Amino acid sequence: MNFNNGSPTIVVLKEGTDKSQGKAQIISNINACLSIQDILKPTLGPLGSDILLSDQTNKTIITNDGATILKSLDIVHPACQILVDISKSQDMEIGDGTTTVTLLACELMKESKQFLEEGINSNLIMKSYNMALKKAIELIKSDLSVKIDTSNENEEALRDLLEKCAKTAMSSKLINSNSKFFVNMCVDAILTLDRQHLDLNNVGIKKVSGGSMEDSLFVKGVAFAKTFSYAGFEQQPKYFTNPKILSLNLELELKAERDNAEVRIEKVEEYQKIVDAEWKLIHDKLELIKNTGANIILSKLPIGDLATQYFADNGIFCSGRVDPEDLNRVIKAVGGSIQTSVSDLKPEHLGTCGIFEEKQIGNERYNLFTECSNTKTCTLVLRGGANQVIEEVARSLNDALMIVKRSLQLNSIVIGGGAIEMAISKRLRDYAKTIKGKQQLMINAFAKALEIIPRQLCENAGLDSVELLNKLRMSHSVNQGKDNAFVGINFQIENIANNFESFIWEPMSNKINSLQSATEACNLILSIDETITNKQQGDEGGNIQGIRGQGMGM
């Protein structure tokens, strides 16, 4: 590429390099992002539709989860990748609201487009959006959120609150029709965990094909599928009450004793001594394990046929090649610790539970540890007629678990159904009247962009969005005080209503994170004013070599 500013031509970039910059490039990036918005719009809300995604291997995904859709799409445009990142961030931090954050970011860009076309500098738009964001978060924390009591004094009241938050999170998912069943399962899982940490890694999710969704099981303890086993396994007992459980990171096989060993012998009798020594070594290990009084032996590493038969003869259950995550959750449930040697086993190294059993679930056999004394972990065994259904149930439950967790941690909720967006919009318009200059227009544009959520909820439900939005604006303008933040779209009556009384609740952190991520993504797109594409040999689309930004250190 040649750069010529009246001086002799200087070649800096190779021939074929495409260089785009200025206002036209920003608008081009915005248009690319708006195409992503068109894909996600129909999936928003409880009556949103699902999207079927298929890849080159004919693997199909049916979902309406924004993060899953964006992750599965083969998006090559560099600006659109920012939308993928904010949806992933929302999914990891909050769990729900992945579609909302993407739609908000795109709508903010759409509103800024008119200002760019009129010649307003993008830095001024970014500054105005940051002012509006700061005011919106301040409004949510001070006026538009509701404190809920999550103390331990009244477990029934706490459970009722968490169930309402979980039900709202499930309203737009595949499991909505079975929400009562899964809400109980979700809240049971969260209340099982340590209230101080609420680590969702302690909630195991297992998937078993077959049956209906309501055949799914909540196990207050640990459950994992039967591991690979050798002959003699079927002779082992499959049910214990108050068993002693020994967890190992040790291989119990003959071959383990001759690995990396070299022995030189001169007589046949010496070879027999070596074989006898190998057998003695493993027998001594098995004898030490039996002497601990353990009834159940679990190991991350294989347990061979000799050890399996030995344990069967002594009425001991064993399971080798247990997944490390499952074994760690077993330790948290039953106590004890994982041992790498059997030479110094003590009673405190063993754990115990109320009941252990091997149970048939669908076409698979599962090992279940229940009635544990210090249970801080649980397992959800999900069932369904098709793998795609089970995968979507797992994604939906993960979102609901995250929402319940955040509600329990932060003790504050906002009202769903577009109520919080309309309340912020109304107050931002009032705030804009106190601002002088062009920034007043841009804060109004920010307020207008928030209306995309209630508008799209109505359109996806087949309702008259113009009529209902006018009703919402009127209600939020006429009603004064905190109650006007509660009026939103209620799909049960297909009209506006007080959604606080209808228990359409969301965690406050959900909305704050959505607004922050959407505004940051919009400002990042507005800050990019130059894209350089180097078309390499055999590359029709080109590879992005550089993106220059302004005002944000790009």
Choose the catalytic residue: 43, 63, 99, 100.
Answer: 99
d(CA 469, CA 454): 7
Q: What are phi and psi of 528, to 5 degrees?
A: -90, 115
Contacts of 314 (CB under 8 A, 6+ apart): 290
Q: What are phi and psi of 220, to 5 degrees?
A: -80, 85
d(CA 127, CA 356): 61
What are the respective helix, strand and coil percentages of the chain, to the nearest 5?
A: 50, 20, 30
Q: What are phi and psi of 534, to 5 degrees?
A: -105, 110
Choose the catalytic residue: 65, 91, 96, 529.
Answer: 65
Nearest to 379 by CA among 164, 203, 542: 203
Choose the catalytic residue: 43, 63, 68, 98.
Answer: 98
Residue 289, helix vs strand vs coil:
helix
d(CA 215, CA 194): 27
d(CA 89, CA 513): 9
Please name the residue ranges forming H helices in 265-374.
Answer: 268-291, 305-313, 324-334
Mark whether 99 is an active-site residue: yes
Mark whether 98 is an active-site residue: yes
Q: What are phi and psi of 538, to 5 degrees?
A: 75, 10
Instruction: Tell me if 154 sits within 8 A of 163, measured CB to CB.
Output: no
Nearest to 460 by CA among 417, 514, 498: 417
Q: Which CB contacts under 8 angstroms, 24+ apart, belong to 470-478?
A: 471/495, 471/496, 472/418, 472/422, 472/496, 473/422, 473/426, 476/422, 476/423, 476/425, 476/426, 477/426
Look-up of token digits 């190998």 = 278
Choose the catalytic residue: 377, 399, 519, 531.
Answer: 399
d(CA 383, CA 394): 10
Look-up of token digits 């693997």 = 59
Mark whether 65 is an active-site residue: yes
Active site residues: 65, 98-99, 399
